[in-house]
Amino acid sequence: MIYITRREHFNAAHRMYREEWSAEKNVEVFGKCANPNWHGHNYNLFVTVKGEISYETGYLIDLKDLKKIINERVIEKLDHSNLNMDVDFMKGKMASTEILCIEIFNQLKGPIEAYEGVFLHSVKLAETENNSAEYFGN
């Protein structure tokens, strides 16, 4: 079993808030992240796949194919977007790094696992150099 990780990058804005809460409660719970004028992050995304190496090709998956899947399914939708308003797979969901990480995993699992013997192992999303979430699909 080999594990291969592809790193991608995107920039996006979001706001942490609950519409049913008052502005005061949102600020109490989410602090600066509840700013009605939004705020943004320079995210780093790490997608790790696993499986057995093909000795015919010498690799698990052609990294050009993995890059294309990640870009078409995730980066093109997220980069320079508002996570709360612009991203179809985030509609109606809290735009936290944790939930975004899970939703990215869900976007990638099917297309990646359509390749024989390739499995999505994890998605790690770094919101800052100090804060990240990692999801393994369970």
Q: Which domains does the chain have, with CATH numbers?
A: 2-135 (3.30.479.10)
14 annotated ligand-binding residue:
yes
Low-confidence ranges of the chain (pLDDT < 50): none
What pLDDT, on a 0 to 100 scale, did the predictor assign at position 39?
A: 92
What pLDDT, on a 0 to 100 scale, did the predictor assign at position 138?
A: 84
Phi and psi angles of residue 41, each rounded to the nearest 5 degrees, phi first: -140, 155
Phi and psi angles of residue 62, each rounded to the nearest 5 degrees, phi first: -65, 120
Centre a 10 Å sphere on the Cβ of residue 3 and count the other Cβ atoms it contains. Answer: 12
Q: How far is residue 71 from each of residues 63, 88, 122, measured CA to CA in Å?
A: 12, 15, 17
Task: Assess whether 101 carries a catalytic annotation.
Answer: no
Task: Assess whether 80 carries a catalytic annotation.
Answer: yes
Residue among 33, 98, 113, 121 flagged as catalytic:
33
Task: Assess whether 72 carries a catalytic annotation.
Answer: no
What pLDDT, on a 0 to 100 scale, did the predictor assign at position 76?
A: 98
